[in-house]
Structure 1
Amino acid sequence: MGRLFGTFGVRGIVNENITSEFALKIGMAFGTLLKKEQPNKELWVVVGRDTRVSGEMLENALISGLLSVGVNVIKVGIAPTPAIQFACRYFKTDGGVSITASHNPPEYNGIKLLEANGLGLKKEREAVVEDIYFNEDFERVKWNEIGRLEERDIIRPYIDTIKSRVDVDVIKRRKPFVVVDASNGAGSLTLPYLLEELGCKVVSINAHPDGHFPARNPEPNEENLRGFMKIVKALGADLGVAQDGDADRSVFIDEKGNFIQGDKTFALVVKAMLEENKGGLIVTTIATSHIIDEIAKQYNGKVLKTKVGDLIVSRALLEHNGLVGGEENGGVIFPDFVLGRDGAMTTAKIIEIFAKSGKKFSELLEELPKFYQLKTKRHVKGDRKAIVAKVAELAAERYEIDTTDGTKILFEDGWVLVRASGTEPIIRIFAEARSEEKSKEYLNLGLSLLDEALKS
């Protein structure tokens, strides 16, 4: 972790640690970094935001900071984070900024700085931005050298490019019935319209932008989607899809109203893309289901496991020329399109897979390799990483372990992962096995090792 930036950008509570002054100085610091790196170039940065109430305030402040150091700005307004990442490549800018707190509650906001290719800023460059910020080493320009501001649309190019990447004709022939919950977030401006243009019958809820998130918490987990699950089943839809606040993730509900773990929809995408490309490299995290490993074996794929974090997965995809990447939380990354999680592209691909299959969505999921995964978490005090290191020490005496990220104990038929959260005072425990009984056994093992570590 840096002095400001976490795993991807910085976020916090508005007008406490995320203020207009903060955004102004981040804009100045980021612009100064770009000028130091390319002193004789006309520089452009794309800036966009999600629907949060504080977004316009922070956007205006950050843009002012960029302009004050002579950097030109393309303002795209409210847009999904993946659309802003796409805009970096589309407009050929020198970088980008997404003002978002993703799935956090409405009182939060944050700032993600982007490379010219749309990938999250490298840690080395973030460190320079931090130095400039704290030293206030800003390269302000003369009055006649202040940057220019242009407003452009990215929603239409983003939707059109997604449509060009899937078989629209096969989708139109099946005309899937899809219910969308856009969480009053940035996906309100993209996903319902994309699905209609793909030929789906669409019913939308929570699809008007509202930064208060009046309908539900923007985190698309099973607890927050219980009402939505009932709606999907009651309407007789083929499937439902729900997004988070900045629309970089899509979570799916089958026609029976069942919540589908992100590993499974990621697995459907992996299977389809390995078949289409006759193999390839899949990048995922240490916490993702071994369903992915099984599918890779069947379809000539290879799997690279990384630490948890979409930025880590995205960078590994770029460095190793990966085909597709993803996480267990519903985030799928198509690196030749956007170097980050992309909820709309994920949805379009799942709809295409569904349309081509001629099967029910639940039937497609039933065809996947069978694994049972359980998840829990413990609130803890003290150094979380030190606690997990103690778990590793205890486990290494008895089991085969992997310490890529946390402590993962490996068995022939499953695994258990004990991992410290990077943002909250909690330790997460994930367990998976080929039977529900074994999965419970492994989860309990992880909890008992954690208890042992806490006592020592």
Structure 2
Amino acid sequence: MTLIKSISGIRGTIGGQPSDNLTPIDAVKFAAAYGSWLKNSQPGKKTKVVVGRDARISGPMIQQLVMNTLVGLGIDVIDLDLSTTPTVEVAVPMEKADGGIILTASHNPKQWNALKLLNHKGEFLSGDEGAEILKMAEKADFSFAAVDELGKITVVDHYIDTHIEEVVLLPLVDAKKIAEAGFIVAVDGVNSTGGIAVPKLLKRLGVKVKELYCEPTGHFPHNPEPLKEHLTEICDLVKKEKANLGIVVDPDVDRLAFISEDGEMFGEEYTLVACADYVLSKTPGNTVSNLSSSRALRDVTEKYGGNYEASAVGEVNVVELMKKNNAVIGGEGNGGIIYPELHYGRDSLVGIALFLTFLAEKKVKVSELRKSYPAYFMSKNKIELTPDLDVDGILLEIQQKYSGEEVSTIDGVKIDFAEHWVHLRKSNTEPIIRIYTEAKSQEKADEIAGKMMEEIRAIANL
């Protein structure tokens, strides 16, 4: 397995050979490159970096390697230890730090880990900045500090609580209304830091919580990507406990999925749609999601007179377009909510609080809320890459074949037909081609995906 370097972070599997996997040597090398890049951008100034991690098994090892590499560069470290991705993003500007590192491989299985790099605003680095750091890592272009100039590590353990308070203080979050609704909510924390943060938030909002896999052991009890096929136990728990809804997050708590009271998936794509519906009903404006997200967000945005635009896939691309278009809310169809009122990062805690306020205000069941939105169905598939596969050539051939349709090439190839769309792209995080389709029935979405996969295999002689 090769080490994957992209705008989504430096990601790989633990163990194996340096440069092929995320070994201790690679962790040190990339942490040193990032720390050196920060120092070079502000010569003569003491540098400070916030570091937090999810609960995966390799986390303590990688964290110590990364933090002490930064100390060796003369950088002070704020150690959040077990945390969430959005919590680290919130902590960076609060600490007036120069950057942040989140140690998480997000939805990937337990053998994976990664370094996600933030700037002084607590936002992900741009592609150009990431490329500069990768270049420094390859050249080992860094110099360590003398003994009297070493950095220091300060442990700060309040930031999950602080993050929760910042969420509760948002003008569109109504804790009183949520508490009065008397919600019962089941939570699957996939044995990571969502098991700490989500129940804490819910209890702060006066919600009765039924916990499933909320011990942050790092031993994921099921595939940690919050997709329907992985979530049978939480769906059963919702029905058994007669809960109003279920909440599922990924290991670093930046992806959010809901379960309706009947044990059915609300639909990961509709997490953003519902939160946007609420935000737009109070503060009309523009929205942004990526090219692989549902058309339903466009429909809801236009209902309130706003303008919807789609970015390339990748949180940094969504954020860039949100800033350009003054979007009041945005995110990604994988359950990632970005609400600039708090910060420019995917944040499940913000999404939960907005959703519960909306639900309490509307006084409807989760299944009824879901039925109020346009019915779109997605099919998400992938084809494994092989070293000799000319992906760009395949995508170009598909683009030319469908040139008579509305085609976007800002990120792979997206073809918009009248009643459906297809998006083909190389993944930023895995060695695969993703094939996403959306149509007005699941059968049609699956049929379109199957047809497109056949075309790709024919072109590639797979």
Query: If the length of structure 1 is used for normalisation, what is the TM-score?
Result: 0.94
Match of 1:309 in 2: 314
Aligned-pair distance for 1:108?
Answer: 1.1
Decide whether the 8 Å contact of 2:302 with 2:308 is kept in 1. Answer: no
User: Partner of 2:49 in structure 1?
Assistant: 45
1:381-400 Cα deviation digits (max 9, x unpaired): 4122321221111111x433
Q: 1:342 to 1:128 in 2, by over 3 A?
A: same
How far apart are residue 168 of structure 1 and its match?
Answer: 0.3
1:168 to 170, 175, 197: 175
**Aligned partner (choices 99, 106, 119) of residue 95 of structure 1:** 99
Match for residue 209 of structure 1 among 208, 216, 220:
216
- 2:415 alignment counterpart: 409
- How many angstroms does 1:355 deviate by? 1.0
User: Is it true that 1:8 corresponds to 2:4 in the alignment?
Assistant: no
Question: CA offsets, 1:130-181, max 9 Å, x none?
Answer: 2332222223222111112211121111111111121001001102110000
SS of alignment partner, residue 410 of structure 2: coil
- Secondary structure of the 2:411 match is coil
How large is the Cα RMSD of the aligned pairs?
2.0
Who is 2:199 aligned against? 192
Worse-superposed segment, 116-125 or 233-242: 116-125
Provide the C-alpha distance between the structure 1 equivalents of 2:136 and 2:399, rounded to a whole number of angstroms. Answer: 38
Q: Is the 8 A contact 1:314 1:335 kept in 2?
A: no
Q: Distance in 2 between matches of 1:58 and 1:29?
A: 15
Contact 2:266 2:366 in 1 (8 A): no
Q: Name the structure 2 match of 1:110.
A: 114
Tell me the distance in 1 between the aligned counterparts of 2:337 and 2:191: 21
Task: Verify: 1:60 aligned to 2:70, yes or no.
Answer: no
Rounded Cα–Cα distance in structure 1 between residues aligned with 2:377 and 2:75 = 51
- Residue 357 of structure 2 corresponds to residue 352 of structure 1: yes
Residue 280 of structure 1 corresponds to which residue in structure 2?
285
Deviation at 1:323, TM superposition (A): 1.4
Query: Closer, same or farther in 2 for the Cα pair 1:60/1:441, shift >3 Å?
Result: closer
Paired AA for residue 175 in structure 2: V
Partner of 1:147: 151
- Quickly say closer, same or farther: Cα 1:440–1:208, change in 2 above 3 A: closer
Kindly provide the amino acid, as one letter, of the partner of residue 269 in structure 2: D
Whole-angstrom CA distance in 2 between matches of 1:35 and 1:422 = 27
| Residue in 1 that maps onto 2:24 | 20
Within a 5 Å distance, the mapping from 1:295-374 to structure 2 comes to: 295-374=300-379
The question of whether the paired residues in 1 share the 8 Å contact of 2:413 and 2:424 is answered with: yes
Distance 1:190 1:383, change over 3 A: same
Deviations 1:316-346 (A, max 9, x none): 2234332111212111111232322111111
1:3 touches 1:130 (CA, 8 Å); kept in 2?
A: no
Distance 2:62 2:411 in 1: 34
Q: Does the C-alpha gap of structure 1 residues 96 and 321 become closer, same or farther in structure 2, counting only changes over 3 Å?
A: same
Aligned pair in 2 of structure 1 residues 226, 144: CA closer, same or farther (>3 Å)? same
Counterpart Cα distance in 2 of 1:410 and 1:137: 45
Matched, 1:70 2:48: no
Q: Structure 1 residue 405: deviation in Å?
A: 2.2
Partner of 2:226: 220
- Structure 1 position 435, deviation (Å): 4.5
Greater shift, 219-228 or 376-385, is seen at 376-385
CA–CA distance in 2 between the matches of 1:442 and 1:393?
Answer: 18
Query: 2: distance between equivalents of 1:161 and 1:111?
Result: 25
Taking structure 1 as reference, are residues 35 and 301 closer, same or farther at Cα in structure 2, changes over 3 Å only? same
The secondary structure found in structure 1 opposite 2:115 is: strand
Look up the SS of the partner of 1:259 in the other structure: coil
Answering whether residue 254 of structure 2 is matched by residue 248 of structure 1, we say yes
- State the secondary structure of the residue aligned to 1:417: strand
Structure 2: distance between partners of 1:359 and 1:200: 17
Cα offset, 1:67, TM superposition: 1.1
Superposed, 1:366-445 pairs within 5 Å as 366-381=371-386, 382-396=389-403, 398-436=404-442, 438-440=444-446, 442-445=448-451
Q: Counterparts of 1:185 and 1:157 in 2: how far apart (Å)?
A: 19
Q: What 5-or-longer segments of structure 2 have no aligned partner?
A: none
- The residue number in structure 2 matching 1:179 is 186
In structure 2, how many angstroms separate the alpha carbons of the residues matched to 1:438 and 1:371?
Answer: 10
Query: Deviations 1:260-314 (Å, cap 9, x if unpaired)?
Result: 222212111111111111x212110111111111111110211111111222212
Query: Aligned letter for 2:249?
Result: Q
Residues 131, 240 of structure 1: CA spacing in aligned structure 2 closer, same or farther, 3 A cutoff? Answer: same
Q: What is the one-letter code of the residue matched to 1:13?
A: T
More deviation in 174-183 or 146-155?
146-155
Task: Within 5 Å, give how 1:127-138 maps onto structure 2.
Answer: 127-138=131-142
Letter in 2 for 1:48: G
Which consecutive unaligned segments of at least 5 residues does structure 1 have?
Answer: none
Partner SS state of residue 324, structure 1: strand
Length, aligned pairs only = 452
> What is the letter of the counterpart of residue 176 of structure 1?
F
* 3-state SS of 1:323 partner: strand
Aligned counterparts of 1:243 and 1:199: Cα–Cα separation in 2: 20
Write the distance in 2 (CA, Å) between the matches of 1:330 and 1:78: 22
Aligned-pair identity in percent equals 33
